[in-house]
A and B are shown apart, each in its own frame.
Chain A
Amino acid sequence: MSTLTREGRATGDRRPRPQHEDQRRDRRRDDQVPDEGATPPGQGPDAGPLAEMGSPQRGRAVKDAVARVVMWGAFGVVMIPLVWILYTVVSRGVHLLLSSTWWTNNQRNINSGDVGGGARHAIEGTLMMAGITAVIAVPIGILTAVYLVEYGRGGLARAISFTVDILSGIPSIVAALFIYAVWVTTFGIERSGFAAALALVLLMIPVVVRSTESMLTLVPNELREAAYALGVPKWVTVVKVVLRTAFSGIVTGVLLGLARIMGETAPLLILAPYTKNFQRDLFSGNFPTLPMMINQDRGDIGLAAAAERMWGASLTLILLVLLLNLVGRIIARAGSVKT
């Protein structure tokens, strides 16, 4: 997201305009105030020249102070739950992550009241599922965005854009039930990791389309025109100039999509029941994932061992998403165009 603002400012073609409009509207509103109600002394148009010179500055200073307090206040309010969550999860879960078996073992033969075992099955499962989802959703998402920005005109483009909007509003449970209806009820195939991945694809595509689309529109038109002027075909321009320029932004968008789907639980509950064993087959059998591990152990929260495992798995999931973000940022930085 930070990339968005940075590039937005760098190209600077859209953002300033709405701001001007806002200011104009504000000024108009200010003008109307004296006509409507009582005018505070020293602020109306009838006030003396001295007051007129001093008060707008003071007014601005007050506004500035108020805005600053509100901003920092809002920031603080947002930070409270974040810090609280992180503190709770880390303080309760961290010691399990430091145990020798957490990263290497599964939960086979570990009953809910027993300690021991690890979360490797769930970590592998979550990564595999995120991987397969990304492999399906990212090409579809990026190509859709390229069509919408570079090629699409008229009714079809509007229809696709509208569909993506609808898709992004679909609750995860509905996506899951849709896949269940197709996969299990209609075709009678067994529930599996792949079925859950399909539901996650539905959730990831709109995120990728929207973020890629906004990145592509930020690519300055001059670059495209320069490429055309050199006689470069349109598709080469798209691949080598437009996508290349927007690369880091697109990676960020993909990561946002991945972060969203990795913690998603509803499709897993319906389509991929949990197993305590390793499962490397995406197409048959139960499938272990971290959210399902958390959910399973939450069911036995009365047992100390299960509660610990739940916090451990939560922290692992948070770390996994964080790690993915870091790796993605490194890729994005390495691949971004040097200016």
Chain B
Amino acid sequence: MSVSRTTVLGALALSGALLLSACASENNSPAPAAGGSGSSGSTGSTDCFSGNLKAEGSSAQKNAIDEAISVFQTKCADATIDYNPSGSGSGIKQFIAKQVDFAGSDSALKTVAVDGLVEADDAAKACGSPAWNLPMVTGPIAVAYNVAGVDKLVLDAEVTAKIFDGKVTTWNDPAIAKLNAGVKLPSTPIKVYFRSDDSGTTENFTKYLKAAAPDAWSYETGKKWTGKGEGKEKSAGVATAVKGQDGGITYVELSYAKQNTLKMAEIDTGSGPVELNAESVGKTVATAKPVGSGNDLALKIDYATKEAGAYPIILVTYEVVCSKYSDAAQGSKVRAFLTTFASDAVQGQLEELGYAPLPTEVATKVQTAVKAIS
């Protein structure tokens, strides 16, 4: 193939453009243009560090931690923080393999053996000190659906369990119709999508089904989906799948349901249908009980809550950290960043991203625990 003169010229022009642009300024301007991160809530002095910090894990908290990273990096120009949203399971594995400085997880480290491994023990071994679970963000899980002509849908735990177990297969099934008097349901088959990767969202959703509808949901709870349906990767995968499929239904974090403009079912806990909003989620978070000891702040959520107006399907996402890092510099970096993340200023911004703020009592404890990281 002979090279024509024009292609040679084109190549030269393109490489020239690349070379020229090398001289221009590189980093983006300090204040992010969008994102709504107002600088009003300054947290006072931030311990800046230079160098990088690596974290990996839950995709449910990605949008929240991205916001916190933006805030921190804006203040500290030399700091680089990377969060790789590869899923809770993967995050904890990489944390135990010492590949990341801290992990994001939708469930606290297990203290009982799963497949012969005790996560909490392995993490403590990797750290050389006990690992702590610090609740940082609470995120509601939406039961998102896409049924043509149905804008409002009420489900209860039992029907939800049956749908996700493949026992209820069409949208006009009497079980659904009973909860939705006056809604015209089509005979479209129900298409269930689940998370194919190890996911904390799956774990919290199955915990809800198990707690609130023990008769209808016979499977074990866990990061791997055990019900029926078709697997899609990551939160974005299930959300996009439902968006493109009439009759589709899935469980996904509120922020992803919002991004994809999916309709969300109201949940009937026994005291009337509850819509998913900050207030209804806050009511459930307030009932959560700490189960960890000392600065390990694992929470236990009452999924079977019957409190009026409380939306029961939520997850608490944790940062899994070492209580004492073998490298003191690493510890101070983690402490500096998490201080910003737990600060009222950042927490206050999370609501518009589709998360619920931590109850004040919990937030204070988290801030104390973060200070104790060394």
Contact = CB atoms under 8 A, between A and B. Distances in A.
B78 to A, nearest CB: 11
A333 B14 CA distance: 19
A303 B259 contact: yes
Contacts of A2: 1
Contacts of B32: 109-111, 114
Most chain A CB within 10 A, of B7, B28, B66, is at: B28
B256 to A, nearest CB: 7
A103 B17 CA distance: 9
A112 B82 contact: no
A300 interface: yes
B240 A276 contact: no
Contact of A111 (B3, B8, B35, B86): B35
B27 A106 contact: yes
B14 A111 contact: no
Contacts of B260: 302
B187 interface: no
A238 B86 CA distance: 50
Contact of A286 (B1, B54, B69, B239): B54
Interface residues of B, number: 49
Interface in B11-60: 11, 14-15, 17-18, 21, 24-28, 30, 32-35, 52, 54, 56, 59
B74 A109 contact: yes
B63 to A, nearest CB: 7
Contact of A101 (B17, B28, B73): B28
A42 interface: no
A323 B27 CA distance: 25
Contact of A330 (B11, B34, B74, B240): B11
Contact of B18 (A103, A106, A184): A103
Interface residues of A, number: 46
Interface centre among A105, A109, A184 (most CB of B within 10 A): A109
Interface stretch (A87-95, A115-123, A209-217): A115-123
B97 interface: yes
B312 interface: no
Interface string A298-339: 111111000000000000000100010011011001000000
Contact of B236 (A114, A276, A301, A330): A301
A285 interface: yes
Nearest to A107: B28
Nearest to A274: B84
B33 A114 contact: yes
A103 B11 contact: no
A311 to B, nearest CB: 16
A277 B82 contact: yes
A60 B99 CA distance: 68
A273 interface: yes
Contacts of A303: 259
A324 B21 CA distance: 18
Interface string B241-257: 00100000000000010
A264 interface: no
Nearest to B11: A326
A326 B84 CA distance: 35
A301 B66 CA distance: 16
Contacts of B97: 184-185, 188
A105 B3 CA distance: 32
Given A299-B59, A323-B15, A330-B8, A104 B236 contact: no
Contacts of B85: 299
Contact of B34 (A101, A113, A329): A113
Contacts of B14: 319, 323
A103 B256 contact: no
Contacts of B62: 112
B80 interface: yes
A129 B243 CA distance: 37
Contacts of B34: 111, 113-116
Given A106-B26, A299-B234, A273 B35 contact: no
Which residue, of A103, A106, A191, A273, has the highest number of chain B Cβ atoms within 10 A? A273
B120 to A, nearest CB: 21
B182 interface: no
B70 interface: yes
Contacts of A117: 28
A326 B8 contact: yes
12 contacts: A109-B28, A109-B70, A112-B63, A120-B26, A273-B84, A273-B86, A286-B54, A300-B259, A302-B260, A323-B14, A327-B11, A333-B3
Given A103-B21, A106-B26, A111-B63, 11 more contacts: A104-B25, A105-B26, A107-B28, A114-B35, A188-B97, A188-B98, A274-B84, A298-B236, A300-B236, A302-B236, A302-B260
Interface of B: 1, 3, 7-8, 10-11, 14-15, 17-18, 21, 24-28, 30, 32-35, 52, 54, 56, 59, 62-63, 66-67, 69-70, 73-74, 80, 82, 84-86, 97-99, 234, 236, 239-240, 243, 256, 259-260
**Across chains A and B, which 10 residue pairs bring their CB atoms closest together, nearest first?**
A326-B11, A302-B259, A104-B24, A103-B21, A2-B1, A273-B84, A114-B34, A302-B260, A275-B82, A286-B82
